[in-house]
Amino acid sequence: MEGMMNGKEYIESLRKLKPKVYFMGRKIDSVADDPITAPHVNAAAMTYELANDPRYEDVMTATSHLTGEKINRFTHIHQSTEDLVKKVRMMRLLGRKTGSCFQRCVGLDALCALYITTYDVDRKYGTDYHERFKDYLIHVQKNDLMAAGAMTDVKGDRSLRPHQQADPDVYVRVVERREDGIVVRGAKAHITGAVNSHEIIALPTRAMGEEDKDYAVAFAVPVDAEGVVMIFGRQTNDVRRLDGDIDCGNAKYATVGGEALIIFNDVFVPWERVFMCGEYDFASELVETFATYHRQNYGGCKVGVADVLIGASAAIAEYNGVERASHIVDKLTEMVHLAETCWCCSLACSYEGFKTPSGAYMPNLLLANVTKLNITRFPYEWSRLAQDIVGGLVATTPSELDYKNPETRDLIEKYLKGKADVPTEHRVRMIRLIENLSIGAELPESMHGAGSPAAQKIMIARRANIDVKKEEAKRVAGILPDEDYLRVRGFKREGDEGRS
């Protein structure tokens, strides 16, 4: 079928695919129905469901600049700063709706990065990657496909470049070039939403030298392509999903993005789905472009999840009867302050975006990295405050199985009750939700998703214009002449003629 899907149609489309997915020693036959993966599918389904809701049409949909058709915004190439802003508004909306990672942004950012970089590669080398990619993009848009952006290689010895590794396959590489396409081998790690995507878009993970040209490869394959194997990663408290829904905290939408290790066992890729093959001098641009888009997101999606955590913290304070205590109000206010600070960063880097030669718009690189660096810090603080508000039961609440056990249920009902008019089960559910959001996998993902803090600091240092700032300081201090002041006053100092 063509056109935008709704949530049910997305779930049904996954049932038609046959990816090789393994978890805890067994093969998952249907990611749409397995209790371990189904919550992640539900979170991604929300990106489809809201796009069909008239209340959210403006933020969740866009008009394709290639076909003129209405499309899901997760398949759109940004054509203005307003598009960039709507993207992060969409992220915050979905974070609020799911209290989770909804996974689809990584593929969107891969599409945008490839759109820009293939254009630049073609300008230098006269290749046709950009036209190939536009054809692929139309296919993604028309069929409303979810793509998993796969950038991070397993890397082996981090002190060595790709071509220097003892095992050449620890970075994804081209092992054969054929008349009709290429064969790739290697693995990508931590890939969000991989098992419940339709497509995998692989990108290089770092800057490359000429000796690394076999590793400078970008391509797209169906998730169930021959030779693709995925091993679903463990998450905090993941098997609680097998016991019921209370202990999960967020049983319907899980927690973070359902990351997987993707192995490419000599996977064939036809040329029409190859978007970089040996152009090592553009690997760095592709990585930085993708990273900029992806770091832009975090002040949206993580703040949407923070909205849920703040609400849960306020609710548990009410259930405990302490909602009016000044220290509780202060903690909640601080949580809001931290979250909205991150939101400001996402908006700022979007509004300060710019048009690239390809015609696509990009966020401000410096501010996007500031956004993500804040996300490596602030969620830890708002999570600490949530844990402070909820109290020690966040770590010691009896299990759902004990709550359902007739021999212990009445005891838990009696002794875990807060306010008399609040059901004990409501209190327990809220405690578990706070546990899920403040102790679970959200925090490592905040730290390492879209790159660890060192990566953001490198980019911030590159974009900080320290030399310009030093010059301005010298002007203010009177060490350098202040041309603006002199021009306004209508005179020059002796010896200033010709100074640039």
Max Cα-Cα span within the chain: 94
Residue of 105, 248, 277, 342 marked catalytic: 105
Say yes or no: 309 and 255 in one domain.
no
Say yes or no: 274 and 387 in one domain.
no
Does 259 qualify as catalytic in the annotation? yes
Domain boundary among 230, 260, 280: 280
**CATH number of the domain bearing residue 296:** 1.20.140.10
Asked if residue 480 is part of any domain, the answer here is no
Contact 199, 17 (CB under 8 A): no
Asked if residue 487 is part of any domain, the answer here is no
Taking alpha carbons only, the member of 188, 191, 198 closest to residue 221 is 198
Asked if residue 60 is part of any domain, the answer here is yes
Say yes or no: 134 and 170 in one domain.
yes
CA separation, residue 323 to residues 114, 249, 357, 415 (Å) = 49, 22, 53, 20
Which residue range forms the structural domain that includes residue 195?
7-280
288's tokens: 């930085």
Cα 469 to Cα 458: distance, rounded to the nearest angstrom: 18
Say yes or no: 25 and 140 in one domain.
yes
Asked if residue 491 is part of any domain, the answer here is no
Say yes or no: 117 and 92 in one domain.
yes
Domain boundary among 280, 313, 333: 280
**CATH number of the domain bearing residue 244:** 2.40.110.10
Does 445 qualify as catalytic in the annotation? yes
Say yes or no: 299 and 204 in one domain.
no
Taking alpha carbons only, the member of 114, 186, 192, 198 closest to residue 154 is 186
Asked if residue 478 is part of any domain, the answer here is no
Does 12 qualify as catalytic in the annotation? no
Taking alpha carbons only, the member of 61, 68, 56 closest to residue 5 is 61
Asked if residue 1 is part of any domain, the answer here is no
Say yes or no: 178 and 78 in one domain.
yes
Residue of 37, 192, 205, 292 marked catalytic: 192
Does 342 qualify as catalytic in the annotation? no
Cα 79 to Cα 84: distance, rounded to the nearest angstrom: 8
Does 198 qualify as catalytic in the annotation? no
Asked if residue 83 is part of any domain, the answer here is yes
* 125-151 per-residue burial string, b: 16 or more CB within 10 A, e: under 16: eebebbebbeebbbbbbbbbbbbbbbb
How far does Cα 156 stand from its chain's mean position? Answer: 24
Residue of 294, 342, 371, 442 marked catalytic: 294
Does 101 qualify as catalytic in the annotation? yes
Domain total in the chain:
2
Residue of 40, 98, 101, 435 marked catalytic: 101
Pairing state of beta strands 173-177 and 181-191?
Answer: antiparallel
Say yes or no: 443 and 383 in one domain.
yes
Say yes or no: 225 and 241 in one domain.
yes
Asked if residue 232 is part of any domain, the answer here is yes
For residue 325, the model assigns a pLDDT of 98
Query: What is the residue-level pLDDT of the chain in tens, covering all 500 positions?
Result: 578 999 999 999 999 999 999 999 999 999 999 999 999 999 999 999 999 999 999 999 999 999 999 999 999 999 999 999 999 999 999 999 999 999 999 999 999 999 999 999 999 999 999 999 999 999 999 999 999 999 999 999 999 999 999 999 999 999 999 999 999 999 999 999 999 999 999 999 999 999 999 999 999 999 999 999 999 999 888 889 888 899 999 989 977 778 999 999 999 999 999 999 999 999 999 999 999 999 999 999 999 999 999 999 999 999 999 999 999 999 999 999 999 999 999 999 999 999 999 999 999 999 999 999 999 999 999 999 999 999 999 999 999 999 999 999 999 999 999 999 999 999 999 999 999 999 977 888 899 988 899 999 999 999 999 998 998 899 899 888 887 766 666 655 444 443 33
Contact 168, 187 (CB under 8 A): no
Say yes or no: 249 and 383 in one domain.
no
